[in-house]
Structure 1
Amino acid sequence: MTIAYWCVLAAALMPMIWALIAKKSKPGFSNRRPRQFMASLEGFGARAHGAHLNSFEAFPFFAAAVIIAHQIGKMEQSTMDTLALTYIGLRVLFGIFYLIDKHLLRSLVWVAAVACNVAFFVMSS
């Protein structure tokens, strides 16, 4: 399996990291009512939950970009791997900036991560 494919797995698991941080941000988490608990969060915990939700939203575009680039086969594997690793790094930064409430930096790295996805398509054509 390629590094880029491993990055798809990492991106799929990333929402769980932010969810765990959100759940640990405040006492009283109950697995019987996780959505109610998450909806009650404020501040840091709410931002962790936001990173969790955004990670789910961003995942399909990235997964499709990696899979399609592999199927087309015109891009060098090292380029695909570099783009995928860059995407993962940017998404980690996105979550960190979300947690520490650096909204402008968060938006910049979000745009850069989207640009990685677009690059998969452009460079594969």
Structure 2
Amino acid sequence: MTLANWCIAAACILPMAVALTPKVASVKSRDRYDNAAPREWAGRQDGWAKRAIAAHQNGFEALPLFIAAVILAQQAHANQDRIDILAMTFVLIRVIYSIIYISNLATLRTVVWFAGIGVSLAILAQA
């Protein structure tokens, strides 16, 4: 399995890890995470927890383009080292994006979001 394929796995796991942060933090709050009604619980969140949930959702929204780009570039027999580097860059950008989103740095978040999309398009351009 290529490094880029491992990056796909990491990019798929990352949104779930981001969503876990407010759930774990809620253990010490009055409004503990409710596994029986997770969407209702998420709807009651505010501040950083609400932004973490939004970052989690955005993480899944970014996946289709990235996954398709990696697969298509590999099927086209593009330079695997270049695909691997770009895929690692994408995962790093998504980690940074999540931190920035939770930190409420809206303008910087948008810049980083565009960087992630740009990397996915760069991978796709390899095909």
Scaled to the shorter chain, the TM-score interval is: over 0.9
| 1:29 partner SS | coil
1:84 aligns with 2:87: yes
* Mapping 1:39-54, distance limit 5 Å: 39-54=43-58
Runs of at least 5 residues in structure 1 that lack an aligned partner in the other structure: none
| 1:11 partner SS | helix
Query: Residues of 2 paired with 1:97 and 1:66: CA distance?
Result: 25
| 1:32 partner SS | coil
Query: Residues of 2 paired with 1:61 and 1:14: CA distance?
Result: 16
Aligned to 1:18: 18
Task: From 110, 118, 122, give the equivalent of 2:121.
Answer: 118
Query: Residues of 1 paired with 2:82 and 2:123: CA distance?
Result: 9
More divergent stretch after superposition (94-103 vs 26-35):
26-35
Aligned to 2:38: 34
More divergent stretch after superposition (108-117 vs 22-31):
22-31
Query: Residues of 2 paired with 1:25 and 1:55: CA distance?
Result: 20
Query: Residues of 2 paired with 1:23 and 1:39: CA distance?
Result: 13
TM-score by length of 1: 0.94
TM-score by length of 2: 0.93
Aligned to 1:102: 105
> What CA deviation, in whole Å up to 9, does each residue of 1:15-50 have, x standing for no partner?
111110121343311111111001110000000000
CA-atom RMSD in angstroms: 0.9
Tell me the matched-pair count.
123
1:9 aligns with 2:1: no
Query: Residues of 2 paired with 1:37 and 1:18: CA distance?
Result: 16
> What CA deviation, in whole Å up to 9, does each residue of 1:35-67 have, x standing for no partner?
100111000000000000001111111111101
1:66 aligns with 2:70: yes
Query: Residues of 2 paired with 1:123 and 1:68: CA distance?
Result: 8
